A and B are shown apart, each in its own frame.
Chain A
Amino acid sequence: MVNGLIEEIKARVMGAEPVEVSYTEKGYHCALETSPDKLSGVVGFFDEKRFYLECLLCTDYTDYLELVYLFNTHLAPCRVKVALKIDPEHPVAPSIAAQYASAYWYEREIHEFYGVLFTGHPNMAYLFLHNGIDHYPMRKTKVPVPSEDQARLDSFKPGEEEDTFFINLGPQHPSTHGVLRVVLKMDGEYIERAEPVLGYLHRMHEKMAENRTYQQFLPNTGRMDYLGAMSFNLGYVLAVERLCAIPVPDRAKFVRIIATELNRICSHLLWVGAYLADLGALTPFLFVFDDREQILDVLEGVAGSRLTYCYFRFGGLYNDVDDEFIAGTRAFVKRMWSRFSLYEKLVTGNVIFINRTRGIGTIAKEQARKYGVSGPVLRSAGIACDLRKIESYSAYDGLEFDIPVGGHGDVLDTYKIRIAEMENSLRIIEQALAKLPGGPFMAEKVPKKLKPPRGDVYQVVETPRGELGIYIVSDESDGPFRMKWRVPSFSNLMIFPELAQGVLLADAVAILGSLDLVIPEIDR
Chain B
Amino acid sequence: MVNDLLKLAGSDAGKMVIGLVGVLLFVVVNALLLTWAERKIAGHMQRRIGPKEVGPFGLIQPIADALKLLGKEILTPAKVDKPLYYLAPTLIFVPVLVSFIVIPFDASLQVADINVGILVILAFSSITILSILMAGWGSENKYSLIGAIRSVAQNIAYEIPMLLALLPVVMLANSLSLREIVEKQQGLWFVVIQPLAFIIYFIAGVAETNRTPFDLPEAESELVAGYHTEYSGMRFALFFLAEYTNIFIVSAIAATFFLGGYQGPVLPGIVWFLLKSYLLVFVIIWLRWTYPRVRFDQLLNFAWKGLIPLAFLNLLITGGLLKI
Contact = CB atoms under 8 A, between A and B. Distances in A.
Contacts of A353: 292
Contact of B224 (A173, A276, A278, A346): A173
B221 A175 contact: yes
A505 B295 CA distance: 9
Interface in B250-285: none
A509 interface: yes
A140 B8 CA distance: 91
Contacts of B42: 282-283
A355 B220 contact: no
A185 to B, nearest CB: 12
Given A167-B143, A286-B48, A276 B222 contact: no
A107 interface: no
A272 to B, nearest CB: 12
Ranked 6 nearest A-B pairs via Cβ: A280-B293, A286-B46, A281-B292, A279-B292, A175-B221, A278-B221
A352 B291 contact: yes
Interface string B206-237: 00000011011001111010000000000000
Nearest to A353: B292
Nearest to B293: A280
B3 interface: no
Contact of B293 (A279, A283, A286, A505): A279
B193 interface: no
B52 interface: no
Contacts of A287: 46-47
Given A167-B143, A277-B221, A280-B213, A355 B290 contact: no
B43 to A, nearest CB: 9
Interface size class of A (residues with CB under 8 A): 20 to 34
Given A174-B220, A278-B221, A286-B46, A352 B296 contact: no
B15 interface: no
Given A282-B46, A506-B216, A506-B296, 19 more contacts: A167-B142, A167-B143, A175-B221, A189-B146, A189-B150, A279-B221, A280-B292, A281-B290, A282-B42, A283-B45, A283-B290, A286-B48, A287-B47, A290-B47, A350-B291, A350-B292, A352-B291, A506-B222, A507-B295
Interface of A: 165, 167, 173-175, 189, 276-283, 285-287, 290, 346, 350, 352-353, 355-356, 504-507, 509
Given A165-B142, A167-B143, A286-B46, A355 B294 contact: yes
B296 A189 contact: yes
A280 B296 contact: no
A103 to B, nearest CB: 32
A505 B222 contact: yes
A286 B222 CA distance: 20
Contact of A356 (B45, B216, B289, B294): B294
B45 A280 contact: no
A506 B224 CA distance: 12
A506 B300 CA distance: 14
A355 B295 contact: yes
B108 interface: no
B297 interface: yes
Given A286-B47, A350-B292, A280 B215 contact: yes
B230 to A, nearest CB: 15
Q: Which of A277, A287, A352, A504 has the most CB of B within 10 A?
A: A352
Nearest to B150: A189
B298 interface: yes
B145 to A, nearest CB: 9
A285 B220 CA distance: 15
Given A174-B220, A290-B47, A509-B221, A283 B289 contact: yes
Nearest to B145: A165
Interface string B143-157: 100100010000000
Contacts of B220: 174, 280
Interface residues of B, number: 28
B221 A505 contact: no
Interface in B23-46: 42, 45-46
Given A189-B296, A283-B45, A290-B47, A506 B291 contact: no
Contacts of B222: 175, 505-506, 509
A505 B146 contact: yes
A349 to B, nearest CB: 12
Given A174-B221, A278-B221, A286-B47, A352 B142 contact: no
B40 to A, nearest CB: 14
Contacts of B224: 173-174
Contacts of B48: 286
17 contacts: A174-B221, A189-B146, A280-B220, A280-B292, A281-B290, A281-B291, A281-B293, A282-B46, A283-B46, A286-B46, A287-B46, A346-B290, A350-B292, A352-B294, A505-B222, A506-B295, A506-B296
A352 B294 CA distance: 6
A418 to B, nearest CB: 17
A315 B298 CA distance: 55
A276 to B, nearest CB: 6
A51 to B, nearest CB: 37
Interface in B174-233: 212-213, 215-216, 219-222, 224
B137 to A, nearest CB: 14
Most buried by A among B45, B293, B295, B297: B295
B39 to A, nearest CB: 12
A210 to B, nearest CB: 39
A287 B143 CA distance: 30
A339 to B, nearest CB: 12
A350 B296 CA distance: 18
Contacts of A504: 295-297
Contacts of B47: 286-287, 290
Interface string B280-324: 000000000111111111100000000000000000000000000
A282 B293 CA distance: 10
B190 to A, nearest CB: 28
A220 B2 CA distance: 80
A506 B219 CA distance: 9
A99 B142 CA distance: 37
Contacts of B212: 280-281
A117 to B, nearest CB: 36
A486 to B, nearest CB: 30
Interface string B137-175: 000001100100010000000000000000000000000
Contacts of B290: 281, 283, 346
A90 B62 CA distance: 67
Contacts of A165: 142
Contacts of B291: 280-281, 350, 352
A278 B223 CA distance: 11
Contacts of B45: 283
Contacts of A352: 213, 291-294
A294 to B, nearest CB: 13
Contact of A280 (B143, B150, B219, B297): B219
B221 A280 contact: yes
B295 to A, nearest CB: 5
A121 B42 CA distance: 52
A501 B124 CA distance: 40
A189 B143 CA distance: 11
B217 to A, nearest CB: 12
B222 to A, nearest CB: 5
A501 to B, nearest CB: 17
Q: B220, B292, B296 — which one has the most chain A CB atoms within 10 A of its CB?
A: B292
A85 B225 CA distance: 52
A173 B221 CA distance: 8
